[in-house]
Structure 1
Amino acid sequence: MNHIPDDDGALIIFYHSAVPIDFHYLLAKIVLDKKRLAFTITDHLLYYIPGLQLLLTILQFIPGTRNDCIQLLKQKHLVAISPGGLREGLIWFWFF
């Protein structure tokens, strides 16, 4: 938490497991301690799940591009990215 700024932009890189519950705890801790949300870059496929779009919007989960991330960082927002993301996080499914 010491490395997450109170009022400047930062990039948070996290590992996306099948259920990234540790990242959700980190987001909750950031909201409680720093009083700010992070924009989390997600796969656009999540927006096709009925009823999930409103929750994703409220929590600032967006299907952003590289340029979107740059603009958010310039605007001093926190941006969270998981390289590989959902598709690699669920790769275990194909081996069973």
Structure 2
Amino acid sequence: MDLTTLLAAIGGLVLLLGAIARLPTAAAEVVRACIPLLKAVAELRAAARRAFRSVPSPGMGPLPVPHTVVSASSKDQDSPLHGVNQPSEA
């Protein structure tokens, strides 16, 4: 091993040790940066639960279903299926 290789190895080792020493600080910065993201996700989940909950709020019942009342006479006379699948009157 010549002197140039030895100096390159020492220089590389110094760079690696410097990077390793900065890792805990960098990891702490990443965690600190993720805290607002986690809070935003929690708020989004809470809003989604409020918006899509299955139990309606008081006073917010189901919408009324419109229906029509058909009298017996108009049903029998006006139906396009008058007499189809119905017992014949004998």
Please identify the structure whose Cα radius of gyration is greater.
Answer: 2
TM-score (norm 1): 0.19
Which structure shows the bigger proportion of residues in strand conformation? 1
TM-score (norm 2): 0.20
